[in-house]
Amino acid sequence: MTTIKYNLFLHIIQNKTEQFIKLFQNECIDPQIQLNAFEWTPLHCAAYQGNMSLIEYLISQGADVSTKCKNGMTALDMAIQKGHKHLKELLTPQQLDDILSCNQRYDDKIS
């Protein structure tokens, strides 16, 4: 598993989104997997890199935006620290709750 974690981490840092997704799917990786000693999840890494498409993919796969790494930072904290303010809305837990709630209300109306 260590080699897989290392490769996942490298794919994110090198902005190789397609390779990351392929490995992620082929190995049935838990989106909450900790990739390094700092307990960064793939979402933390993607936020650090400012990779919006990978963040969207990870959230769709069940990544938890409220997960904190070893130093107490969330993916949102990392994105802001690196100047990726365009990710704020995507990584804000309340925004996701609102979207999910709206989707549920819509689904209820059409059922």
Q: What is the CATH number of the domain that holds 44?
A: 1.25.40.20
Instruction: Return the number of other C-beta atoms located less than 10 Å from residue 88's C-beta.
Output: 12
Question: What is the predicted pLDDT for the residue at 100?
Answer: 55
Per-residue pLDDT tens for 19-32? Answer: 999 999 999 999 99
Range of the domain at 54: 2-110
Residue tagged 């769709």 (tokens) = 60
Q: Give the CA radius of gyration of the chain.
A: 15
Average pLDDT, the chain: 88
108 or 20, greater pLDDT = 20
Residue tagged 């209820």 (tokens) = 108
Question: What is the predicted pLDDT for the residue at 86?
Answer: 94
- Overall number of domains in the chain: 1
Q: Which of 72, 27, 71, 24 is nearest to 46 (CA)?
A: 24
What is the rounded distance in angstroms from the CA atom of residue 111 to the CA atom of residue 109?
6
What is the rounded distance in angstroms from the CA atom of residue 87 to the CA atom of residue 53?
10
pTM flag (> 0.85): no
Contact 29/3 with Cβ under 8 angstroms? no
Per-residue pLDDT tens for 62-96? Answer: 999 999 999 999 999 999 999 999 999 999 986 55
